[in-house]
Structure 1
C-alpha cells in the first residue's frame, strides 16, 4: 500500500533514470546497494567505505572536493567510522555495559551524559508526536531507543563528514539512508526505494539533495517492535518507510507506523515535513 508520495524537499525522478542507491526489498535483504562507478575528476574525489559493527552494516559514499585531498578524505571517513563504532559500543542496549543498559538498570540518570540526554529527549518527543505509538519505555526490559538509535547514529556520522569539509555524501544503514548535496555524476542522489513486500512492483525513484529515508520492519531483531499499549510484538505490516529531513525522526515515525498499522493514518501526514512512502501489508 502506497500511503503518500514524499513532499519533503525531494521529488520522484523519471522512471528510466539509473539509481545511485537502492533501498528495501530490491536489495535482497543486503545493506543498501551502491551502484555508483566512483569516477574521480579534477575537482572531486569519490570514495566508498563499508563498515560492519556488532549491530549494523553501513555504507559511506563521499563526493569530496579535490582540495580536501585523499588524505583528508580518508581522515573524514575514519572520523565518521569512529563515531559509528563508538555509538555502537556506548549506546546500544544490546551491550550490557552501554550507557543505555546502565540507565535501564538505574545506575545512571539520563542527564549524566549529554548525548544520552539527547537520545532520551528525542524518544520523549517521538512518543508525543505519534500519539504514543513510538514509546521507548513500553518495551520488555525497560527503556530501549532502538527505534531511532540507528538513524541518530547515521546523522551523527554525517555531521562528522560535514565538519571535515565533505558536503556531498550518502550514509546508509540497511534500509535507512541520509544524503546531502550531489552524487558523483553531478546531479541529485537518485535513490530507488523498493516496496517493503518486494514482488514485481517497480521501485519509487527519488531525487534527493538533502534528507533521509527510514524503514522499520525490513531488518533488525525479530519481534523488535511491540505495540506500546499491550507490550506484544506486532506484525500488522511487513514494513513501513518514511522520508523527511532527519533520519532519527524518520526512523521513529517508521517504527510508530509499523506498530500502529492502519491506525497510523490518523497522524500521517505529519505537520513537520515527514511523509510515509510505503506501508506494506502482511
Structure 2
C-alpha cells in the first residue's frame, strides 16, 4: 500500500508491504493524526496552540497534553544539548525540530498497533522504518547529495531504524545557533540514525546549530550514528553509521530529500 499526503508543509509518504492485511483504516488514522498535529503545532496557522502560546493567549500549562509533553521534552533536550536545541532560537516558539520526528514516531506506533509489520513512513526526510523492504531485506534509504541533486551522498539500510537529516541547501540557512543568535553555516548536512525518531530529529538539528563542534558532539551520543558534510565539502561518518557498502546497483526505495 502506498499513500502520499500533503500536510505539515511537506509530502508525507506511507509505504506498507503487508499485502495480506488491509491497512486502509490504519493509514486513514495516521493521516488524520498528521492533520491534527498540523492544526495544533503549526507555526503558520494563527489558531494553532503553538501560535496562541507564542502570542501569550494560551498558557502552556493549559495547553493539550501532547503540547505539554512536547514542550517538556524540548526543554530536556535544550539542557542535554547545552542550549543548542532551543525552541525559541528564532525568537518565537517553534518546536518543529522535534515535532515532525515525534509525529512520525507516533504514526509508526499506530501502524504497528494496527498490525503493520513492514513499512516506511517518510515525512520530508524524517523517516521511520520497520521490517523489510521490497527486496525482503532491510529498507534502503538514499540521502540526497548536497550539490549533485541527481545523486545520493549515502545509502543507509535498516529494518528498525529512525533517520533524520538537517541541512542548508533546501531551505537555506534556516537553523539558528541560539548561542550566537545567528544562522548556523559551518555544516551543509547532518544525518542521524537512531531507534526513536523524535530525539533523532532533535539531535540532527542541534548538531547543525553547533557547527564543526557538532561532529565531535555526535560522537558522544550512545545509540546514535551519524554522517556529516561540511560547507568545505568534507565528509565524516561514525563507525556504526548503517551505510550500504558497496552501494547497491539498484536505486534506494526512498530518498530523504527534505533538507539533505
> What TM-score comes out, normalization by structure 1 length?
0.75
Q: What is the DSSP-based 3-state SS (H/G/I as helix, E as strand, rest coil) of the residue aligned with 1:64?
A: coil
| Runs of 4 or more above 3 Å deviation | 194-203, 218-223
After superposition, give the CA deviation of every residue in 1:139-177 in whole Å (9 maximum; x if it has no partner).
Answer: 22x221111221112112212211211121100022221
TM-superposed CA distance for 1:275, in Å, is 2.1
After superposition, give the CA deviation of every residue in 1:181-227 in whole Å (9 maximum; x if it has no partner).
Answer: 11233221122234434479764332201111111125765543111
C-alpha contact 1:241 1:279 (8 A) present in aligned 2:
no
C-alpha contact 1:188 1:207 (8 A) present in aligned 2:
yes
RMSD: 2.2
Greater RCO (CA < 8 Å, at least 6 residues apart): 1
Equivalent residue number for residue 132 of structure 1: 83
Equivalent residue number for residue 52 of structure 1: 6
After superposition, give the CA deviation of every residue in 1:103-125 in whole Å (9 maximum; x if it has no partner).
Answer: 11222233331100111122112
> What TM-score comes out, normalization by structure 2 length?
0.81
Equivalent residue number for residue 228 of structure 1: 178
How do 1:103-182 residues align onto structure 2 when only pairs under 5 Å count? 103-111=53-61, 112-140=63-91, 142-182=92-132
Equivalent residue number for residue 24 of structure 2: 74
Counterparts of 2:150 and 2:170, CA distance in 1: 24
TM-superposed CA distance for 1:134, in Å, is 1.0
How do 1:1-282 residues align onto structure 2 when only pairs under 5 Å count? 47-64=1-18, 66=20, 68-69=21-22, 73-111=23-61, 112-140=63-91, 142-198=92-148, 203-217=153-167, 221-281=171-231
C-alpha contact 1:196 1:280 (8 A) present in aligned 2:
no
Q: What is the DSSP-based 3-state SS (H/G/I as helix, E as strand, rest coil) of the residue aligned with 1:277?
A: strand
Q: State the number of aligned residues.
A: 231
Counterparts of 1:236 and 1:154, CA distance in 2: 28
